[in-house]
Every structure is written in C-alpha cells, then in structure tokens.
Structure 1
Amino acid sequence: MPEGQRADARRNYERILAVAVDEVAAHGANASLEQIARVAGVGSATVRRHFPSRRALLEAVSHKRIEDLSDRARELAGTGESRATLLAWLNEVVEYSATARGLAAVLVPDGGEVEPAQVNGCAAALEDAASPLLQDAVRDGAVSSEATLADLLALIAGIAMATEHYPDPAAQAHRLFQLAFTGLAPQH
C-alpha cells in the first residue's frame, strides 16, 4: 500500500484486502470484485482505485505466500544435494499453488499490455530468491542448463490450474509435477 495515504484510505485498503483473501480462497482467481466491494462495505470504484487490475489484487493477496516461499528458497540454498534441494523447494511451490487458490494465476504472465517488470512481480520475486537453487543444480549437472525458473514456475502454475477441481488438488498436482520433473522414462 502506498505510503502517505489518509487513515480512511488505509482502512479501506486493509478491509478490501482482508475480504479479498477470503473471497480468493473460496472462489479462486476469478473471485468477484463486486462481491469483494460489497462485503468490504465500499464501492467498486474504491476497490479499483486501490487495485487497478485483478492481477494487482491477486498479487496483494499472494504477497505473504510469495515472501514465505522466497525466504524458504534462501534458507535452502547450499544446504544439501542440489537437485534434491531444488526439488524440495519446487514441491513447496506446488503445494502452495495447488492449495492457495489464486496463487497460480500470478505466476504466469497475464498477456496484458504492461511493462515487463510489472507483468509478473510474484514470479520475479520467486525467481530472484530461488535462482541459486537452480544455478547449483545446473552446475552439478543435475538439471538441464536449458531449464529456467520461469519455465518451472509456468509448469507449476499450469499443473495447479489444471488440477484445482480434483477432489484432492494438491495430491494430483504433486503427482503430475513429479512425473514432469522425473520424465516419462522408467527409472532404473
């Protein structure tokens, strides 16, 4: 939230965000902005003033989760076998993405006409924090040098979106991610 806002504007922002967290948890990335405004007791224009796009709202809702995942990546850096460490962190991203409705939507570009730095603030934060994990795995020959964190996050987001309506989305997302990460060849 921008510094220097009036106290009532800060209260509106906080109330809108609290309601949005609940609505996104219940309805996912397509939670109704009008319903959020109604429950928060503000007009739709007030919601749009604080959150000019759905992505801005979803990023604000996901901010704490992104911080936690970024902190976790920094904690894991250099702590063990590089492939296993990277996989452990990616599995945490899968878990968050599959269970925190709306998070997967902020991990992929929205295709809008905005500056690249604004397209994917959440993904950029995760990429910055986890790049040492991927670099270590690439250096050790445990992961292809062609793999990027953007690729891995897009894969996870796609899996999370594809499994969100399963009876156990997290279990299905983990299963599909493990399949993608290990490949289709049988392990010998």
Structure 2
Amino acid sequence: MAAFDHCKDLNDVALKPRLLLSLLKDNVPDETYPFRDPSELSSIVSNLKNHKLLFEDFPSAADDKLVRIWESAFDSWLDRILVLCRSNLSDKCWAGICLLGVTCTECSSTRFLANYSDWFNVLLSHVQPSVTSQIVKVAACAAISDLLTRLGGFSNLKKDGNSLAGKLVQPVLKILNENVTEAVLVSVYLF
C-alpha cells in the first residue's frame, strides 16, 4: 500500500509521468527491443489518450518537482519516438511516425508550439521520393496532416502553417509521379 500513498486516484497528476515511463519501458520498442506486434501500437495509443499521458496539465499549485518529473518523462518519450522515426527498420520507423502524430495532437499547446517545426522536418524527411517503404510514407502523410491541423488552430501561426505546407508541394508532386500504392495516393490527397 505504500506505493499508492503518493497518489490520490488514477487521475492524479503525480501518477501520469510514472504511467508514461512505464508504457515507454514496457511497450515502445527501441534500438534493441524489437517491435513484436504492430497491434501493440493500438494499445499504446489507447493508453496515451485515455489517461492523457502526453498532456502536461499542471494544477496552479503544482510542485516544481512534479513539473520537472513530468517534463523529464515527456522528454524521454519524445527522445524514444524520434529515435524510432529515424530507424532504418520500416516497422520501427512506422511506429515512431505514428506515435509522433499522436504526440502532435495530444501534447500541451506549450509543448506543441516549442517543437512543431522540428517535428515537421522529421516527418517531411519521410515523404521524400527516396523513401522506399510505402507504409512509412502513408504514416508520415497522416502525421503531417495531424500536425498542420493542430497548427491551424493557432491564429497567430497561419504564416508558419502556410510556409510548412509550401515545403510539401515538391515532395508531394514527386510522389504523385511515382509508381506508388493507392494508400499513399489517398494519404497525399488528404493534405
């Protein structure tokens, strides 16, 4: 029972960083941990959304230590998914891109605004014609769509959104001229 002395209930802010780190440790692949089953991704996303593990929502009287712990947990999450996004293995890269898309939609506004440009560049690298994995391209298109949709909600960043969308024109035109699957074409048309 001593383990639960520090938490009020499952919605306690102090529990969320621990849940995120546990999810990261036990379910999200890394360089050495294989991605056993792609259906695990659904479970990971469900846990992230149900428990709002990526939305750093601090009460007004939040302890500075708790804020640092949650920020550290989120940083660990972000480091791992960015490593996955850069993986040479298409299943890990696909998982990282999907999780980055979820991160774009679920994180706090402060976190999103601090990182959206870097995240966009990571995702854009996977929309290039040189990327051979069709599933990676589809995931990257979907994640970019999520990022741009979220960015569109900030009226003061419309110029940035237009600039980022402009960077997509050439890669998308090149993809449309490639021999790609229908799924890639559909994801490109969703832009």
Q: TM-score, normalised by structure 1?
A: 0.37
Higher RCO (C-alpha 8 Å, min separation 6) = 1
Q: TM-score, normalised by structure 2?
A: 0.36
Where is the helix percentage greater, Structure 1 or Structure 2? 1
